[in-house]
């Protein structure tokens, strides 16, 4: 799939390199929150949870409100028209080495079973202008080789996984968010140092971070379709009839509807071929090793 290099890292072909450079060189303010992930691993979900927690459970009126409060500087640049006090966090898809780390900032990394991440990324990119993806088989080949925007899955995720013991890094999985959202929300609130969380706030965060509520916010926001078309910096003169989706299913295990036996075996070999992959294996051991 098309991409270009930024400091030996794969970025979208149409991306603004100045934005990536500014994002990479950005020096965090004390207490600043970063939400980091490989694409399609639950970033939007985590943005929403953090947004709700920092607003004591008060829901957004539109997804645009969430995005303007938690901008994506590598794609959109740093917003010049939003006061610093109204920016709750920043969203990134960069490996640890390409971010200026600060002990006084907080970093939340969301990781997802690579098979589900692959399927979700495929369904997202195939609808975007500039990508001519013939089949899931073709996309899988690009994913497993890292020859695509944002590059090698294992390399990016491991760069944050190995920092998980730092007191200001929270490494959390999409699966744990799905299996026990309440416990995950409490863990995130504790990590962010929020002392005023009560049962009413938790109930509101649970309600307004549900997949159905978030999907309705996205689909009802006319701003979002253009935003998504811009989201990988693709050529503006290309069109596709299908609308790109920020939120598709929000489930665990959709990979079973896509992966064939050979692809399961290749994913297993991909993880086992890299020390970093072996380190990540325990997170999704059954899905990667025992895929029957």
Among residues 127, 123, 156, 155, the alpha carbon closest in space to that of 140 is found at 123
H-run or E-run covering 187: helix 181-191
Please write the tens of the pLDDT for every residue from 193-207: 998 899 999 999 999
Higher pLDDT, 238 or 288: 288
List the structure tokens of 285: 């051991």
pLDDT tops 90 at residue 81? no
Domain containing 133 — which CATH number?
3.40.50.300
- In a domain, residue 45? The reply is yes
List the structure tokens of 204: 């509101």
- In a domain, residue 240? The reply is no
The pLDDT value given to residue 68? 92
Residues 6 or more apart whose CB falls under 8 angstroms from that of 233 comprise 12, 13, 14, 15, 16, 75
- In a domain, residue 239? The reply is no
Please write the tens of the pLDDT for every residue from 156-192: 999 999 999 999 999 999 999 999 999 999 999 999 9
- In a domain, residue 229? The reply is no
The pLDDT value given to residue 231? 57
Higher pLDDT, 238 or 48: 48
Domain range for 59 is: 3-223+245-289
- In a domain, residue 238? The reply is no
- In a domain, residue 219? The reply is yes
Mean pLDDT in residue range 243-261: 79
Helix (H, G, I), strand (E, B) or coil at 220: coil
pTM: 0.91
Q: State the chain's maximal CA–CA distance in angstroms.
A: 52
Instruction: Sort 89 into a burial class: Cβ within 10 Å, 0-12 / 13-18 / 19+.
Output: buried
Higher pLDDT, 194 or 231: 194
- In a domain, residue 154? The reply is yes
Helix, strand, coil percentages, rounded to 5, for the chain? 50, 10, 40
Place of tokens 């600043």: 32
The count of domains in the chain is 1
- In a domain, residue 39? The reply is yes
């Amino acid at each position: 799939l098309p991409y270009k290099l930024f400091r030996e890292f794969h970025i979208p072909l149409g991306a603004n390199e100045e934005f990536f450079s500014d994002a990479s060189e950005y020096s965090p303010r004390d207490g600043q929150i970063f939400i980091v992930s490989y694409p399609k691993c639950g970033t939007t979900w985590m943005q929403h949870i953090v947004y709700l927690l920092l607003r004591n459970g008060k829901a957004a009126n539109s997804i645009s409100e969430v995005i303007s409060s938690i901008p994506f500087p590598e794609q959109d640049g740093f917003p010049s028209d939003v006061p610093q006090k109204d920016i709750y966090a920043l969203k990134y898809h960069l490996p640890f080495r390409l971010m200026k780390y600060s002990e006084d900032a907080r970093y939340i990394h969301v990781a997802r079973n690579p098979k589900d991440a692959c399927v979700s990324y495929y369904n997202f990119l195939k609808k975007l202008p500039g990508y001519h993806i013939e089949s899931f088989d073709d996309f899988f080949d690009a994913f497993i080789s890292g020859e695509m925007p944002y590059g090698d899955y294992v390399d990016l995720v491991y760069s944050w996984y190995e920092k998980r013991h730092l007191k200001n890094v929270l490494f959390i999985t999409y699966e744990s968010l799905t299996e026990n959202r309440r416990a995950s929300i409490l863990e995130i609130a504790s990590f962010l140092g929020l002392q005023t969380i009560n049962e009413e706030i938790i109930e509101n965060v649970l309600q307004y971070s549900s997949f159905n509520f978030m999907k309705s916010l996205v689909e009802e926001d006319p701003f979002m379709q253009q935003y998504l078309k811009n989201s990988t910096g693709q050529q503006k003169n290309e069109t596709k009839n299908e609308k790109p989706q920020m939120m598709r299913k929000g489930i665990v295990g959709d990979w079973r509807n896509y992966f064939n036996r050979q692809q399961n075996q290749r994913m297993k070999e991909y993880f086992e071929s890299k020390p970093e992959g072996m380190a990540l294996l325990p997170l999704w051991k059954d899905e990667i090793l025992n895929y029957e």
